[in-house]
């Protein structure tokens, strides 16, 4: 699956990311920035909801060619087993990016090929990659 693309401009705008997850499982989201061979950890969620509150990724002129990797792990142990399949099917994750070129699709949504579940269905791993590119 190709990475999503979010276009940025040379306006010295700060680029922000927000991630919301809708699930009754315990969700943990981590955001990493890959840039020029280095990895910058932008933080992870801690409240079990997988929420990444509005977080700065840096200034647009320094972000051209970077890839944001957002990994969300969902553990459904506390949800009845009979609902695991529905939880996988109905999972919604929204990725909001701000500060880039105007009129881009918001939020960026989770694609079905980006979510994977364990053989039992108890654990779900979702990986979204977004490239930040100067247009």
Partner 1 sequence: MISLKPNKNITKSCFRMKNNILSILLLFYTFPLIAQDIEIKDLKTLNAPGFQILDIAPNTIDKPSNPKAFAASLMSLTSSGTALPKNFALEVSPYWYFKNKNATVSQYLNIKEENRSNSYTGLFNKMSMSIASVYSDSTSGSLVKNTNYIAFGMRTNVFTYRNEKQNQKLRTALVNFSERVIKLRPNQKDTDSLEQELNATSNRIRKLYGELMAESNDSLKRAINEKYINAITRKTLIKKKLDDLENQAPDLLENNIKKDTLSQNYLKELDDLPLFQVDAAFAYSEAFPENKTENKHFNRSGVWINATLNAFSFDHEELNDNLTLMMCSRFISDNISNENTVNEFYRQKAFDFGFKIEYSIKELSLSFEYLKRDYSNDSNLNSERRVGTLQYKISENLYLTGSYGTNFGSDSTLFTLFGINYGLGKSELKSK
**Residue 91 near residue 24, CB atoms below 8 Å:** no
**Residue 17 near residue 68, CB atoms below 8 Å:** yes
Told to check if 125 binds partner 1 by CB under 8 A, we report yes
Select 39 or 102, whichever has its Cβ closest to partner 1: 39
The single residue among 16, 26, 42, 58 that binds partner 1, judged by CB under 8 A, is 26
In the bound complex, what is the minimum distance in angstroms from residue 4's beta carbon to partner 1?
13
Close Cβ partners of 50 (under 8 Å, ≥ 6 residues apart):
19, 20, 21, 23, 27, 28, 29, 72, 74, 93
Report the alpha-carbon distance of residue 2 to residue 106 in Å, rounded. Answer: 18
The angle formed by the CA atoms of residues 88, 89 and 91, to the nearest 5 degrees, is 65
Site stretch for partner 1 (CB under 8 A), options 7-15, 33-41, 54-62, 96-104: 33-41
Residues numbered 41-100 forming contacts with partner 1, rule: CB under 8 A: 44-49, 65-67, 69, 71, 73, 75, 77-83, 86-87, 90, 92
In the complex, which residues of this chain contact partner 1 (CB under 8 A)?
3, 22-28, 30, 32, 34-39, 44-49, 65-67, 69, 71, 73, 75, 77-83, 86-87, 90, 92, 116-120, 122-125, 127, 131, 133
């Amino acid at each position: 699956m190709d990475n999503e693309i979010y276009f940025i401009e040379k306006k010295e705008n700060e680029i922000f990311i927000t991630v919301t997850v809708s699930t009754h499982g315990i969700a943990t989201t981590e955001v990493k920035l890959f840039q020029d061979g280095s990895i910058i950890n932008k933080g992870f969620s801690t409240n079990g909801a997988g929420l990444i509150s509005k977080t700065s990724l840096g200034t647009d002129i320094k972000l051209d060619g970077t890839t944001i990797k957002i990994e969300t792990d969902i553990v459904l142990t506390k949800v009845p087993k009979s609902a695991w399949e529905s939880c996988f099917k109905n999972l919604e994750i929204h990725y909001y990016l701000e500060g880039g070129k105007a009129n881009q699709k918001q939020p960026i949504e989770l694609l079905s090929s980006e979510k994977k579940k364990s053989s039992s269905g108890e654990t779900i791993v979702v990986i979204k990659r977004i490239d930040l590119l100067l247009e």
